[in-house]
Amino acid sequence: MKILINSSNVIRDNWTNLVVSEKNDKIHCNNGHIDWYEGTTAGQYYIESQVNKSNAPVWHKRITDEQANELMKMDIEDSIDKMARLVAP
């Protein structure tokens, strides 16, 4: 996974990053209620999130190419806020 937007530039309660898969792989996903592992294809976009605690799990949510392009055009703080809203249960 390649990080495109990195929210770790500021201490936060949660990290929320925009990432793109670089190869076929399996990643941990969560929809707020259910956890599963999903196969990826190179070029798919995900929001990667983790609570700011030691050994907290990292999970991903698949987003569309259009959503990813919109996020990449925004100011970093605005895009991080929008990603947090997209992954909120």
For 1-13, the pLDDT digits (tens) are 899 998 876 666 7
**How confident is the model at residue 55, as a pLDDT?**
65
The domain of 43 spans 2-87
Q: What is the pTM of this model?
A: 0.82
pLDDT below 50 — which residues of the chain?
none
Q: Render 40-86 in DSSP notation, one character per residue.
A: E-TT-EEEEEEESSTTPPEEEEEE-HHHHHHHHHS-HHHHHHHHHHH
Q: So what's the pLDDT on residue 9?
A: 67
Number of domains in the chain: 1
Identify the pLDDT of residue 67.
Answer: 96
Q: What is the pLDDT of residue 52?
A: 67
